[in-house]
Structure 1
Amino acid sequence: MKLHRLVLTNYRGISHREIDFPDHGVVVVSGANEVGKSSMIEALDLLLEAKDRSAKKEVKQVKPTHADVGAEITAEISAGAYRFVYRKRFHKRAETQLTVLAPRREQLSGDEAHDRVRSMLAETVDLELWQAQRVLQSASTAAVDLSGSDALARALDVAAGEAATLSGAEPLLVDRIDEEYARYFTVTGRPTGEWAAATKHLNAADAEVARCAARVAEVDDAVTRHGALTADVAEVAAQRAQAHARLTASRATAEAVATLRRQLAEADVIADAATKSHTASVAALAERRRLRADVEERGTAVVALQTAVAESVEEESTAREVHEAAEVAAEKAREAVATTQARVESARSVVDRLTQRDESDRLAARVAKIDATRRELDRTASELAGITVTDASMRTVEQAVLNVERAAGQAELASARIELVAAADVSVSVAGEPVTLGAGETWAVNTTADTAVELPGVLTVRVVPGTPAAQTQAGLEAAQQALAGALTAAGAEDVDTARALDLRRRELVAARDRLTATLEAVLGDDTVEHLRARLKELLATQPAEDGLFDVTGDSAADPVGARAELAAAVAAHQQAVVDCETHRKVAIVASKRLGDRSTQACVLREKLAAAQGEHATATTRLEAHRAQAADDTLAVAAEADGDAARAAAARAAEVRAELERSAPDAVAAALADATRGADALGRRHDALAEELREVSTQLKVYGTEGRRGSLDAAEAERQHAEREYLRLHRRARAAQLLRTVMARHRDATRSRYVDPFRDQVERLGRIVFGDSFEVEVDSDLRICSRTLAGRTVPYESLSGGAREQLGIVARLAGAVLVAKEDGVPLLIDDALGFTDRDRLVKMGAVFDVVGGDGQVIVLTCDPQRYAAIGGAHHIELVS
């Protein structure tokens, strides 16, 4: 496969770019960062793999942002006997077009074109090799894996002397074995397909046999339960008849006990009435006695309250005198607080004015520094504005100087050289200029134009350079004109002036940045206007004369003394506040105590008045009760009611004793137990009878289901599933064994053709690393370690530059080994960035060795890395 031409239109930030690639050798495509070098590889992959209507993320990301159009990719490619031009437009008005140029002309479009290209590539290109032969920026140091390349495998078979001639129509034996293995196992070795289905069928048959056996066991269990339930029903019926007879006897005994209970209830009613009459007469007698005691008690309470009122009045008078004294002391403490507060405010005013004066001094110095920095910054900016040289123009000048030097060197190599050796003193004319030579002197000059050497009056010799010299001279003049134009654009007379101006511009830019940083640091989060306004405000608050800051009016104010005075005033004020608070609390306590004493005296006077009223009321109530019945009459009535109550209680006790002798609790318990037993046996008989009916019904239903026949059919189906399972088991295990054996033999074969690949890697690697270079390669053709001067280092432990170089050498070795018709382009994207200058020269020699018939495309932002490649074709990209 070879890439002849690639055209990108409206692809990412690329409006249009067309590149023609030579069929052989190394192509170095250079350009600045983000000019779109890596996009070329991405575009080629999208062209070959994605459909024009694809909605994949990779396709969406290449849509141009500068125009509402679709991205277009066109490539001319050779693959085997085919050569075709393939174009796709994505996003808007998507389309695909294919023109096959050889072996016979075809034109297709749409999905037909996409499928045709895929089939041609699958037929002629080793796609695994196409992906492996890339060195990308993101994985330039990763170990290359060439194990999946059929083309390389065939080449290594040939190199190892084990080439096999195949017709190309029959599938490889390994593939057929893998295909057979895939019928029975997944990639991870789990059963699949027929093998998994047979296993699943056997498991299902086992489950069905178990289910049918369980259903047959249900029938047997139902027959057993029917016999047991029939016996249980007969037994419970006999027990229920015995329980009914016992219940009848218990009910008769309970009726006799109920008669005694009714007699006891009547006796209790009579006794209760007599008791209530006796209680009422006793209560009347007790109330009369309570009224007499109440009158005596209230009289005593009135005398005690009169004494307490006199004592409370005396305590109230004492509390009032204490309260008045506390109020006087609290007022004096408040006056002291006001006096010390005035002293504090005076001292604080002096300290504030001194602080404002210090702040104004600091602000004045800060504003002065800002003004000086701004003046210096303005001067730097003014001088910088006068310099027209820029980074871009200086790069143009330097590139032009390099081009002039390169053109001058080429012109010197291609120019004709004139050498004159004088045998005697002689004067000649060269290109119209006189040249005088002494005997034995030599004179020489290089010329790229027609030059006449004239010996006046004797001889004229004309030197005419060939066409290459004239072309290099034209190139030199064009380079000099480009340099002059670049100097004019930069505003400099010559290269030294331009470089001096560029140096001065860089110094001024650094000074500007430094001054800007200084200005930002001095300003902080403030603005100059804010600082000036604050300074003006502070200056406005300062007195016109320094003497006005004096604290005493005799001398200038001392900040330390002012702050000491403020501290003393604050301390005095705080002590005065503490004393004031203490006196205030004392006054509050005295006021509260006075209130308590006043309230207590008032309450006692009210209690005395109430007690006197209650004593009079109690005396009146006692006299009213005595008017209705005398005290002796109430005592006689209480005694008679007591005798009647005792007689009624004795009758009730006789009936209760007879009831207790009949054991009513035992009779009630026997009746309850007989009732529960009869009810329980009735419920058990009904439950067993119902369960017996259900079992009988189940047996009738089971008889119609044919469960035994279902079990026989399930067992027959399981036998069939087991036979099929065993048959597939043997085939699956045979395929697994065959695949294991073939894999072991394939690995052994691979180990034999590792040697040709390792030999080729070491042959190319010794150009870079020296004659002691050796590598260890595993069966997957990956480099495991490198040996130099007898020291072996694992691949992953090598430096980034060494791994990158080995990766390129391994790919170049694969390109050398692969047959010419199976080759693919080797793509290298901005590699060798970790490589020193000496190794770059040696890597260039490697590229020269393998340039040959293959196609190597190098993408780089630094073409000097690949300057050592002798026959490289250079293409420069511009944005």
Structure 2
Amino acid sequence: MRLLRIRLTDFRAVADRELTFAERGVTVVEGPNESGKSSTIEAFGLLLDELDSSKKEAVRAVKPRHTDAHPEVEAEFRVGDHHLVYRKRWLRPLTELRVLAPSPETLTGREAHERVQAILHQATDYDLFKALRVLQDKPFDVDRIAGSVSLRAALDAAAGGAGPTDGAEDTLVQRVEKEFARYYTPKHHQPTGEYRAALDAREAAVREADELAETLARVEADAERHGVVSGHLAELQRRLATDRGEAEEFRKKAAEVEARRRRRDDATTLVERAERDAELAARAWEARQALVLSVSDHEAELAEVRAEITEHASVRAAADERRDGALAMHQAADEAHRLALRRYQEADADYRWMRDAHELERVKADRESLDDAGRDVAVAQAELAATEIDDRLVDEIDAADRAVRDARTAIEVTAATVRVERLGEAAVTLSGPAGVPEARKPDAAASTATSSVALVETAVAVPGGEPVARRITDPLVVEAEGVLRVTLTPGASERELRAKLDEAESSLTSLCAQAGVRDLASARVRLHRHVEARASLQAAKSALQKLSKDPLALADEQARLEARIADHLDRRDPDSLPPAGRHEAETVAEHRRAESEETAAHLGLAAGALRSAEAETIRLAAVAENLRGLADHLAAEHEAARARLADARAAASDDAVEARDGEAAEALAAAVEDRAVHDAAYREAEPEQVALLLANARGVVERTEAEIAEARAELQRLAGRLETVGDDLADRQREAEARRDAADRERHAVTARAEAARLLRETLLRRRDEATRAYQGPFKERVEQFGRLVFGASFGVTVDTELRISHRTLHGRTDPYGELSTGAREAVAMCVRLACAALVSPEGGVPVIVDDALGAADPGRRRTLGALLAHAGGSGEGAQIIVFTCDPDRYRAVGSAQVRSLVHNGDRENSPAA
């Protein structure tokens, strides 16, 4: 197969686009994401596989989202000798096929679809094409390639004819598989088809023969049972007459027992009536006696209560006298407590006045302390602000000063020295920056003090008889007026040292100016003062914090104390002497408090005595009231009892009531004696036994009647079953046995054919596996041939029986394929795809379509893979390789590739394209 051209119309976000491909070699289709690259691959697959009437989700998904158009695909491709132009539209079905070669023809609809399918399966390995069409983000399908007919034929030819070369093996296997499928299911190898039908037929024939044999045996048993049941029914009918006679005799005995029971029940009713009469008479006599007793009881209780009332009156008089005495004592104690309480309140007010005066002095002292502490804090803050300096800046000044001293020391140590001595009368001068005479070196302190002073141009006269020595760190002029002039210039090392000194002095001057000091000593003095000011501020703040007083609260407290003192002086009695001091005021107040508490205790005792006396008086008054009420109640009850007794005697005298009670008792005794006679007669008749025997006799009759009904029903069932069975039952049973024997023979024959098909299939599959192992060599050789172009000469692979790559060997190291890096697996998979395409002959080959592969490959690996693609497309086999990519640089290394660029012209906006 060779794909020449494909056109997409209204397919996802692609409005109208056509792509052409080189018939041989590599075609690289470049385009950004969502430009329709994957849609192109998907469209070709739908064109070949799906009917125009398909409603599958894959078809509905390619419809444009924001328009009512219908997706359409047209492709031109070669398949064997056929040159086809195939067009299909979905959702508004349309299918057109134009065959340009070998002979022109035009087809439409389902006929066109079936024609293309027939050409694809006849002229090319369509399964291999699907396997090599690696879609984006989907793994390479090695299983499909391993089952490719064309690949197996090519591998067999490359192996030198180790296996069949004309596809006959697969054709024979297919025929054997079809024959095997006649008898067994493909998955679990269970009987099916003709084999299953023979087994089911034999089982049905056996079941029918067994059922007829069972039915014949059951009919014979029913005939024998019918005679037995008929004899049993006659015997039951004779027994029923005897059972009914016995039941009648027991019924007569039961009637006699029932008559005796009724007479006993009548006697029992008379006894119950006599018992009620006797009970009523006894109650009447008891009620009369109770009335007489009630009158006498009420008279006694009334006399007792009246005596108790007289005795209680004297007790109440004594309680009233005790209450009056307790009231007088309570009034006296209350007056004394009021006086003591008033004196205590006056003394306590004086004590609070003296305490407020002392507290006022303390508050004033605290306010003065707060003011002093605040002033200390302000002074310390001012000093801290005046001496503000950064510790880090002082450290930098110190470091700069050390740098100046080090630079000067270096100059003094390394600089050349000139010694000038005047020998005559002529004047000799030294001109240049003032140096330091070697004979008079300054000490460290002087050096530090003058380190910030810049050197100035000076002329020094050399005195007679005293030589002058100078370090040559700057140009120095030695001049004898009117005689000579010598200019001495320092060397390069002295100039560098002088430059370092100038730089150090400049840095020191800048840092001192930044800190606002003259030199390092001033900076240290200022830093010392700043540290002391900070400590003073901390101490002042600590002192202020220790006071822990709010100035506003102290002012409010002072005003409150002054107001309370003034208020007390305004309310105090001016005639009473004030206490001499706070201690005296506290002593007097404590003494007056003790007097108040003592009088309060006396008042409490008096109040308790008064409450007890009043409670006792109240209690006695309530008791007196209760006694009076009880006396009135008893008097009324006594009068009512006398009235009830008079009314009862008016109705019947006491003697009449007592006589009726005796008569009722005698009638009850006679009734009880008569009931005993009838009860004895009833028990002599043995009622329980008679009832038991009668019930049993009736049960026997019912049981016999039930057995007769059952026998008659069974006879009817047996007669019915015998009538339903035809006269030809034995003949039918013999025919069923004949069919069973025939089905058994058919099952043996079909089983033999099925076992033969199973054996043939297993033998052919075993032989095909042996041939497949012979394919492994050529396949492995092709994969390694391409792999060495990418990985190097040490590359090797291990191929299993399913033509899968199980291991890779590189530089003497063998690793499982699944444990390789993503980039390495991707490169090996590419070699496998190209090897498969190369092994298939040009007539049966199919395009290798790759969608955005090599994403995990490094640049070096991409170059080798690009060369491999170019080699596969340009080799003798001339494979067609189509690459879709969003990264043009990824396939830049494919030298012979033809490039097609995708742009957004004609594409719809806001509609995702794969």
Give the deviation of 1:95 after TM superposition. Answer: 2.1
Give the deviation of 1:814 after TM superposition. Answer: 1.1
Give the deviation of 1:606 after TM superposition. Answer: 9.9
The aligned counterpart of 1:650 is 673
Give the deviation of 1:275 after TM superposition. Answer: 3.9
- What pairs up with 1:185-196 in 2 under 5 angstroms? 185-188=184-187, 189-196=189-196
Distance 1:169 1:265, change over 3 A: closer
Q: Report if aligned partners of 1:146, 1:782 keep a CA contact under 8 Å in 2.
A: no
Give the deviation of 1:624 after TM superposition. Answer: 0.5
Three-state SS of the structure 2 residue aligned to 1:851 is helix
The aligned counterpart of 2:853 is 831
Q: Report if aligned partners of 1:74, 1:87 keep a CA contact under 8 Å in 2.
A: yes
Question: Aligned equivalents of 1:14 and 1:828: distance in 2?
Answer: 20
Post-superposition Cα deviations, 1:314-333, rounded to whole Å, max 9, x if no partner, equal xxxx9xxxxxxxxxxxxxxx
Question: Aligned equivalents of 2:856 and 2:296: distance in 1?
Answer: 122
Q: Report if aligned partners of 2:807, 2:817 keep a CA contact under 8 Å in 1.
A: yes
Letter in 2 for 1:11: F
- What pairs up with 1:398-547 in 2 under 5 angstroms? none
Residue among 857, 874, 878 paired with 2:899: 874
Three-state SS of the structure 1 residue aligned to 2:29 is strand
Letter in 2 for 1:732: A
Give the deviation of 1:626 after TM superposition. Answer: 1.2
Distance 1:55 1:612, change over 3 A: farther
Distance 1:34 1:661, change over 3 A: same
Post-superposition Cα deviations, 1:60-88, rounded to whole Å, max 9, x if no partner, equal 11111243222221211011111122222
Distance 1:278 1:743, change over 3 A: same
Q: Report if aligned partners of 2:236, 2:707 keep a CA contact under 8 Å in 1.
A: yes
Q: Relative to structure 2, which stretch is displaced further, 288-297 or 44-53?
A: 288-297
Distance 1:147 1:608, change over 3 A: farther
Letter in 1 for 2:886: C
Give the deviation of 1:299 after TM superposition. Answer: 7.3
The aligned counterpart of 2:9 is 9
Q: Report if aligned partners of 1:145, 1:781 keep a CA contact under 8 Å in 2.
A: no
Give the deviation of 1:219 after TM superposition. Answer: 1.5
Three-state SS of the structure 1 residue aligned to 2:36 is coil
Distance 1:275 1:149, change over 3 A: closer
The aligned counterpart of 2:335 is none
Q: Report if aligned partners of 1:6, 1:75 keep a CA contact under 8 Å in 2.
A: yes
Question: Aligned equivalents of 2:744 and 2:305: distance in 1?
Answer: 115
1:624 equivalenced with 2:647 (yes/no): yes
The aligned counterpart of 2:814 is 792
1:814 equivalenced with 2:814 (yes/no): no
Question: Aligned equivalents of 2:724 and 2:216: distance in 1?
Answer: 13
1:699 equivalenced with 2:697 (yes/no): no
The aligned counterpart of 1:220 is 220
Question: Aligned equivalents of 1:302 and 1:27: distance in 2?
Answer: 140
TM-score normalised by structure 2 residue count: 0.60
Question: Aligned equivalents of 2:237 and 2:133: distance in 1?
Answer: 98
1:24 equivalenced with 2:29 (yes/no): no
Post-superposition Cα deviations, 1:9-63, rounded to whole Å, max 9, x if no partner, equal 2211112222221111111111111111111110101111222232221111111
- What pairs up with 1:570-719 in 2 under 5 angstroms? 616-702=639-725, 704=726, 706-719=728-741
Identity of aligned residues (%): 38
The aligned counterpart of 1:116 is 115
Question: Aligned equivalents of 1:604 and 1:846: distance in 2?
Answer: 135
Q: Report if aligned partners of 1:848, 1:870 keep a CA contact under 8 Å in 2.
A: yes
Three-state SS of the structure 1 residue aligned to 2:137 is helix
Q: Report if aligned partners of 1:805, 1:832 keep a CA contact under 8 Å in 2.
A: yes
Distance 1:217 1:299, change over 3 A: farther
Question: Aligned equivalents of 2:713 and 2:29: distance in 1?
Answer: 98
Question: Aligned equivalents of 1:674 and 1:177: distance in 2?
Answer: 84
Three-state SS of the structure 1 residue aligned to 2:98 is strand
Letter in 2 for 1:30: E
The aligned counterpart of 2:46 is 46
Question: Aligned equivalents of 1:299 and 1:799: distance in 2?
Answer: 126
Three-state SS of the structure 1 residue aligned to 2:77 is strand
Post-superposition Cα deviations, 1:621-646, rounded to whole Å, max 9, x if no partner, equal 22201112222332233223322332
The aligned counterpart of 1:592 is none
Post-superposition Cα deviations, 1:794-848, rounded to whole Å, max 9, x if no partner, equal 2222221111111110011111111111111101110011111111112122223
Post-superposition Cα deviations, 1:238-286, rounded to whole Å, max 9, x if no partner, equal 4334433433443444344344445444544554554444333222212
Q: Report if aligned partners of 1:236, 1:684 keep a CA contact under 8 Å in 2.
A: yes
Question: Aligned equivalents of 1:744 and 1:303: distance in 2?
Answer: 135
Distance 1:106 1:294, change over 3 A: farther
Three-state SS of the structure 2 residue aligned to 1:146 is helix
The aligned counterpart of 1:857 is 882
Question: Aligned equivalents of 1:144 and 1:678: distance in 2?
Answer: 88
Three-state SS of the structure 1 residue aligned to 2:147 is coil
Give the deviation of 1:215 after TM superposition. Answer: 2.1
Question: Aligned equivalents of 2:133 and 2:714: distance in 1?
Answer: 84
The aligned counterpart of 1:801 is 823
The aligned counterpart of 2:743 is 721
Distance 1:169 1:156, change over 3 A: closer
Letter in 2 for 1:12: R
Letter in 1 for 2:218: E
Q: Report if aligned partners of 1:267, 1:652 keep a CA contact under 8 Å in 2.
A: yes
Give the deviation of 1:729 after TM superposition. Answer: 0.9
Q: Report if aligned partners of 1:292, 1:622 keep a CA contact under 8 Å in 2.
A: yes
Distance 1:107 1:143, change over 3 A: closer
In angstroms, what is the RMSD of aligned CA positions? 3.7
Letter in 1 for 2:210: A
Question: Aligned equivalents of 1:305 and 1:111: distance in 2?
Answer: 130
Post-superposition Cα deviations, 1:667-713, rounded to whole Å, max 9, x if no partner, equal 332233223323322332333233334323433333x3643333223
Distance 1:298 1:676, change over 3 A: farther
Q: Report if aligned partners of 1:141, 1:804 keep a CA contact under 8 Å in 2.
A: no
Q: Report if aligned partners of 1:136, 1:831 keep a CA contact under 8 Å in 2.
A: no
Distance 1:17 1:626, change over 3 A: same
Q: Report if aligned partners of 2:156, 2:165 keep a CA contact under 8 Å in 1.
A: no
Q: Report if aligned partners of 1:7, 1:73 keep a CA contact under 8 Å in 2.
A: yes
Question: Aligned equivalents of 1:604 and 1:232: distance in 2?
Answer: 100
Question: Aligned equivalents of 2:199 and 2:224: distance in 1?
Answer: 38
Three-state SS of the structure 1 residue aligned to 2:677 is helix
Give the deviation of 1:123 after TM superposition. Answer: 1.8
Q: Relative to structure 2, which stretch is displaced further, 812-821 or 250-259?
A: 250-259
Question: Aligned equivalents of 1:683 and 1:800: distance in 2?
Answer: 92
Distance 1:169 1:275, change over 3 A: closer
Q: Relative to structure 2, which stretch is displaced further, 634-643 or 820-829?
A: 634-643
Three-state SS of the structure 1 residue aligned to 2:161 is coil
TM-score normalised by structure 1 residue count: 0.63
Q: How many residues of Structure 1 are paired with residues of Structure 2 in the alignment?
A: 602
- What pairs up with 1:549-560 in 2 under 5 angstroms? 554=556
Q: Relative to structure 2, which stretch is displaced further, 177-186 or 36-45?
A: 177-186
Post-superposition Cα deviations, 1:712-731, rounded to whole Å, max 9, x if no partner, equal 23222222222221111111
